[in-house]
Amino acid sequence: MIDNNHINLKTKISVENFNLFYGKFQALDNISIDIPSNQITAIIGPSGCGKSTFIRSFNRMNELIPTVRTEGRIILDGKDIFEIDPVELRKQVGMVFQRPNPFPKSIFENIAFGPRAHGIRDRRILEEIVEKSLRQAVLWDEVKDSLTKSGLALSGGQQQRLCIARALAVEPEVILMDEPASALDPVATLKIEELIEQLKEKYTIVIVTHNMQQAARASDFTLFFNMAENRAGYLVESGKTTDIFTNPKNELTEQYISGRFG
């Protein structure tokens, strides 16, 4: 059922026959898909079908859970990610989490944290990075006078944009977002969506969303995941977002996007 409509685009990440197990429990079943470069790829599907597990495979965050075992390959720019050091990989593949998780540090320190960890010490360069990242995350105007304030003092939506800026500051190529707006109000959500749209120029974006409208509005490609009683999370259908939403090929996809289950 894999349908690579976007074969003409440059592929950033290529997933080949990927399986993932939490101990004996299989969470992902034989996923193969190409993620196009500089596009927004949305992952939708009912809760528990493995969306988070899937994107956390791209930066090998699943490995923090000792029982996790994987099979198959994930290729980033022609390189198998399981042969790259995870620390190096995560510099290239950034992540924004479901709940905003700024560090209990100042706004400045939150953004400078990544570049510092990667060895940048020069204060002036750090200042430049902080400003640039905050501008990219459309947060600069709101916080430029209070960079020494704690990141935790910001509103939820601002915190999430701070986390996006923090991810941008290490100059990744791919940004993974796991339901980045699910904890935010509609206005803040819309801001995040606009921001993501701007980011795709420079970054490849993979976003999990529980919200059908959001996927339809804010993505170029859509992957629909599902699971069954006796089957782990699997990829049902993938393609251009407009095709998936107007002309789904699979009956399950059609039922899901019309809100009949999930």
Partner 1 sequence: MIKDISLSKKHNAVIDPVKNLRKRKNTQNIAFAFIWLAGIIAVAALLFIVGYVVSNGFKVINLEFLTTRPAGGVSGKGGISTTIVTTVYLVILTLAIAAPLGIGTAVFMVEYTTEYAGKKNFVGYLISLIRTSVEILAGVPSIIFGLFGFAVFVSYMKLKFSLLSAGLSGACLVLPLIIRTTEEALLTVPKSYREGSLALGTTKWQMVFDVVLPSAMPGIITGIVLSVGRVIAETAVFWVTLGGSYRLPKNLLSSGRTMALHVYMLASETRAFDKALGTSAILIVIIILLNLAINISSKQFSKKFSGK
Ligand X SMILES: Nc1ncnc2c1ncn2[C@@H]1O[C@H](COP(=O)(O)OP(=O)(O)O)[C@@H](O)[C@H]1O
Query: Which residues, other chains included, contact 97 with Cβ-Cβ below 8 Å and sequence gap of 6+?
Result: 163, 178, 180
Contact with ligand X (CB under 6 A): which of 12, 51, 90, 161? 51
Specify the residue, 152 or 212, whose C-beta has the smaller distance to ligand X.
212
Specify the residue, 158 or 219, whose C-beta has the smaller distance to partner 1.
158
How far lies 95's CA from each of 59, 145, 208, 215, 228, in Å? 8, 27, 11, 18, 28
What tokens were used for 115?
């570049």
Task: Confirm or reject binding of residue 26 to ligand X (CB under 6 A).
Answer: no
Contact with Mg ion (CB under 5 A): which of 11, 26, 41, 52? 52
What tokens were used for 238?
């993938």
Task: Confirm or reject binding of residue 25 to ligand X (CB under 6 A).
Answer: yes
Cα separation, 4 vs 68, in Å, equals 29
Q: How many residues bind ligand X (CB under 6 A)?
A: 12
Contact with ligand X (CB under 6 A): which of 1, 2, 10, 48? 48
The interface partner of residue 49, options being ligand X, partner 1, Mg ion, none and the CB cut-off 5 to 8 Å by kind, is ligand X
Interacting residues with partner 1 (CB under 8 A): 59, 61, 64, 66, 87-92, 94-95, 97, 99, 101-105, 113-114, 117-118, 149-154, 163, 166-167, 170
Residue 223 beta carbon to ligand X: minimum distance, rounded to whole angstroms: 12
Stretch that binds ligand X, among 3-11, 46-54, 189-197, 242-250 (CB under 6 A): 46-54
Residue 241 beta carbon to partner 1: minimum distance, rounded to whole angstroms: 26
Phi-psi region of 149 (alpha: psi -120 to 50; beta: other; left: phi over 0): beta
Q: Contact at 8 Å (CB) between 67 and 46? A: no
Specify the residue, 18 or 108, whose C-beta has the smaller distance to ligand X.
18
Cα separation, 252 vs 118, in Å, equals 45
What is the contact mask toward ligand X in residues 203 to 242, using x (rule: CB under 6 A)? Answer: ------------------------------x---------
Residue 156 beta carbon to ligand X: minimum distance, rounded to whole angstroms: 20
| DSSP result, 23-81 | TTEEEEEEEEEEEETTSEEEEE--TTSSHHHHHHHHTTGGGGSTTEEEEEEEEETTEEG
Task: Confirm or reject binding of residue 53 to Mg ion (CB under 5 A).
Answer: no
Stretch that binds Mg ion, among 52-60, 114-122, 160-168, 232-240 (CB under 5 A): 52-60
Positive or negative, the CA dihedral 151, 38, 242, 35 is: negative
Task: For the segment 151-210, give every residue that binds ligand X (CB under 6 A).
Answer: none
**Exposure string over 185-210, b if 16+ CB within 10 A, otherwise e:** eeebbbbbbebbeebbeebbbbbbbb
Site for ligand X, rule CB under 6 A: 22, 25, 27, 47-53, 65, 233
